Amino acid sequence: MMVLMENVCKSFGPLEVLKNINLSVSKGEVVCIIGPSGSGKSTLLRCLNHLERITSGRVSIEGQMIDEKVHGRGHLKISQKRVSQIGTELGMVFQRFNLFPHMTALQNVAEAPITVKKQPVQETRDNAYELLKKVGLADKKDEYPSRLSGGQQQRVAIARALAMRPKIMLFDEPTSALDPELVGEVLEVMKELAREGMTMLVVTHEMGFAREVGTRVLFMDNGEIKEEGTPEAIFSNPKNERTKTFLQKVLP
C-alpha cells in the first residue's frame, strides 16, 4: 500500500476540516478528489506530505508511519531527516507555480536534487534537461519564469517535482490558476505520467480528466469522503445525494 490514512481528523482551532478520513491508495492508482471549495481536499494532501500535522489518526506511506496521534496522545516522534525523506518521496504540485524568479527553467528543476540530495551538478542538470523535454519545454530551458506562460510555468513545476524521483505525485488543483486555453497542456503531461504508472492523488475541478484518467474518484464535502468509486460509477450513477447535486452543477 503506497498511502494509508486511518481515522484522520484535522482541526484549525474550532474548525474541523477533516473528519475521520480513511483512504488507501495502491501503487499505480490515479485517485482524483473532487468536491466543492472548502471541503478539505487540499488539507488532505497537505496532511499527507507533512505540511500539516493531523489532529488525530494515522498516516502511513509505503507501510511506514509518518504521523500518528491517537486518543489525545502526542504526535509520533519523527526526525527532521525523515521529514525531508518524505518530501523526496512525495512530489507536490500546487495551484501556484512557486518557481524561483531569479532562476531559469533548468535551474529551477535542478536546484532541489543538487542542494537537498547532493547529486552531481552536471548529471543533475542533464536529467533536468530530459525532464523539461518530457514536459515539452526543452526549448525554454534558459528562460526565466517571467517569460513563460502560466501553463509553461506549471509544466516546469511538474518537472521540478519529478526531479526528486518521487514515488507518489500529489497535485493540488494544478490547473485552477491557468487561463482556459492553457489547461490542456498541463493535463496532457499529467495523463502521460498516469500512462507511465505513476501513483497520483489529484485534487481537481477538471471533471473530464477525472473521468478519463482516474482509476478511482473520491467526492468530498464538509471534511468527509461522502462517496468513492470508479469514474463510471461516480459520474454515471452516484449514490449519495450530495454527490448528485454537486455533479449536476459542474457537469455540462
- pTM to 2 decimals? 0.94
The answer to whether the CB of 52 falls within 8 A of the CB of 40 is no
Average of pLDDT values for 106-124?
95
Q: State the cell numbers at 39.
A: 471541503
User: Pick from 4, 17, 11: which is nearest to 224 by CA?
Assistant: 17
Per the CB < 8 A criterion, the answer to whether 234 and 227 are in contact is yes
- What average pLDDT does the structure give for the chain? 94
Give the type of residue at 185.
Answer: E
Provide, rounded to the nearest whole percent, the portion of the chain with pLDDT above 70.
98
What span, in angstroms and rounded, lies between the C-alpha atoms of 61 and 67? 10
3-class SS shares of the chain: helix, strand, coil, % to 5: 40, 25, 35
Comparing C-alpha atoms, which of 200, 243, 251 is closest to residue 218? 243
Phi, psi of 238 (to 5 degrees): -65, 145
Reply yes or no on whether the pLDDT at 71 is more than 70: no
pLDDT at 86 over 90: no
Backbone torsions φ then ψ of 231, nearest 5 degrees: -55, -40
Instruction: Compute the average pLDDT of residues 41-48.
Output: 96
Q: Are the beta carbons of 24 and 3 closer than 8 angstroms? A: yes
Model pLDDT for residues 145-197, shown as the tens digit of each residue: 999 999 999 999 999 999 999 999 999 999 999 999 999 999 999 999 999 99
Render 29-53 in DSSP notation, one character per residue.
-EEEEE--TTSSHHHHHHHHTTSS-
Q: What is the pLDDT of residue 66?
A: 84
DSSP H helices, the chain, are: 41-48, 80-89, 105-115, 121-134, 150-162, 180-195, 207-213, 231-236, 241-250
Whether 206 and 180 have beta carbons less than 8 Å apart is answered as no
**Average pLDDT rounded to a whole number, residues 89-114:** 95
